[in-house]
Amino acid sequence: MAVDATEEEQRFVAKYLAREDFYFFVRWMFLQRRGYKWLRASHHQIICNALMRVYRGECTRLIINIPPRYSKTELAVVNWIAWCLGKHPDSEFIHVSYSAMLAINNSAQIRDLICHEAYMDIFPTVMLKGDTNAKDHWKTTDGGVMYATGAGGTITGFGAGKQRDGFGGAILIDDPHKADEASSDVIRSGVIDWFQNTLESRKNDPKRTPIIVVMQRLHERDLAGWLLDGGNGEQWEHVCLPALQDDGTALWPEKHSIEQLLKMEQAAPYHFAGQYQQRPSARQGNFYQPDRINIVEAIPPGIRWIRGWDFAATAPRAGSDPDYTVGIKLGVSQDGRYWIGDMSRLRGLPDEVERALLNAAQRDGREAKQSIPQDPGQAGKAQVAAFTRLLAGFSVMSSPESGDKETRAGPFAAQVNIGNVNMIRAEWNDAVINELRMFPNGAHDDISDAAARAFNSLHGGNEGIIGFYKSLGLQ
């Protein structure tokens, strides 16, 4: 015979679950503080799962891109920091937002949550130190620290994380850019410079202190875009949550229905692409439709391969955004379909570029051609000669670039836009798709240039759409 649990037994179980299950903690504390239930959504669990991977040490660099007002701050800042301090009261946190006032307000909410009687019921040993009662800076009696500031603010004397195995705190960035300032190259680059030159140095353990960035996308070269593009040289786990899902459903239908989202997109497509779809693009792009590229798990045999190159020989410096050297391996099968099989992409000095070129040729094998652009003048001829000597034993072709970038890219873009291009699944897929989406107005066009060279070389020249038509006997 079933026996109903008493209210005391129910609360005992709830407190246990709140200690061990972060998402349960969020919902339980919301009910205790507000008096009504948290409105659950599938993306809340996704965010909580990602944060738990950070807590367990499985991930130390995390980016979560999500539309505004979709519970990101409540989950990833207020509740997560409070829960982690409950589990490890000596943890040290630095929290940043584009506005010091917003970061300090979040800090005050965390402190208020910790002081709530329901929280103290769950984590009775956590106590705030009485002599640190400022909203932007407070401590626990176990040595835990919470410091909040705005992007560009002073952090001297504060650090995040612990030099130990196991969790000890984190740097947590919530919307580092102000929406109406993200289009300013100067202001946006200033935030990135501050991250690179100031905030990153605040890790108490350079390897184990986690950094979490939660933000809506505002520009192709915002902080998330810069990091995902390899800006600080680290690999980032990326949780991307667009309002309109790829399967045609709404991310949070109780918040925004499909009909509402489509109206929002129609009214302001540029802003919707970034803030709600997490796919910021330069205004008036749409040359390529890269979402029509088919991602495949394997490539069939019998492909005729050419790797097209676009060279740059500039090493990255703090605050700079130089071009890349890119080599795109593109092939065509007998049925007329095109296949992207590999990408080599780096920023480096000439000797590093040479090593990348040779390594790519060795991976491709002798049957694949390497197509190299020839710059004008004697220097261009000398560079081609040097690369040809470097690639002795491999098939090398070269030609000057002719026409503008859009003309050269036209034939390849046409195949992309009708869904006739396939791409092997790899970690560089996002870089290809993101750059093509923004062409020709994006920050970089090296991938497009390399792919266009490979495509046009497959068809016997580098004359753009006219050459392509000639290769098909249509001109």
Q: List the CATH number of the domain containing 46.
A: 3.40.50.300
**pLDDT at position 472, please?**
45
Range of the domain at 344: 290-471
For residues 343 and 462, state if they share a domain: yes
Q: 353 is written with which tokens?
A: 């570029």
For residues 328 and 428, state if they share a domain: yes
How far is the CA of 187 from the CAs of 98, 152, 221, 273, in angstroms? 11, 10, 12, 21
**pLDDT at position 322, please?**
84
For residues 101 and 206, state if they share a domain: yes
Q: 225 is written with which tokens?
A: 């875009």
286 φ/ψ sector (left φ>0, alpha ψ -120 to 50, else beta): left
Question: The domain that contains 371 carries what CATH number?
Answer: 3.30.420.240
**pLDDT at position 282, please?**
64
Of 214, 241, 268, the last residue of a domain is 241
For residues 302 and 214, state if they share a domain: no
Segment holding 95, helix H or strand E: strand 92-97
Q: Is residue 258 part of a domain?
A: no
Residue 332 pairs in a beta bridge with 304, 338
pTM for the model stands at 0.67
Of 241, 272, 303, the last residue of a domain is 241
Low-confidence ranges of the chain (pLDDT < 70): 1-5, 282-285, 316-320, 461-475
For residues 222 and 371, state if they share a domain: no
User: Cβ neighbours of residue 150 under 8 Å, at least 6 residues apart?
Assistant: 96, 97, 98, 99, 100, 101, 102, 103
Distance CA 40, CA 43 (A): 9
Q: Is residue 260 part of a domain?
A: no
Tens-digit pLDDT profile for residues 421-455: 999 999 999 999 989 988 887 888 999 999 999 99
Distance CA 475, CA 472 (A): 8
- The radius of gyration of the chain's CA atoms, rounded to the nearest angstrom, is 26
How far is the CA of 9 from the CAs of 1, 16, 455, in angstroms? 18, 11, 69
Q: Is residue 32 part of a domain?
A: no
**pLDDT at position 35, please?**
94
**pLDDT at position 283, please?**
60
**pLDDT at position 461, please?**
60
Residue 345 pairs in a beta bridge with 326
Q: Is residue 29 part of a domain?
A: no
Cis amide linkage into residue 440, ω under 30° from 0 = yes
Find out whether 273 and 280 touch, Cβ atoms under 8 Å.
yes
For residues 381 and 304, state if they share a domain: yes
- The total number of structural domains in the chain stands at 2
User: Cβ neighbours of residue 286 under 8 Å, at least 6 residues apart?
Assistant: none
Tens-digit pLDDT profile for residues 258-308: 999 998 888 778 788 999 999 987 665 578 989 899 999 999 999 999 999
Specify the 3-state DSSP secondary structure of 18.
helix
Q: Is residue 278 part of a domain?
A: no
- DSSP-derived pairing of the beta strands 137-140 and 128-133: antiparallel
Which residue from 169, 134, 174 is spatially nearest to 151, judged by alpha carbons? 174
For residues 116 and 211, state if they share a domain: yes
Which residue from 240, 239, 241, 234 is spatially nearest to 61, judged by alpha carbons? 234
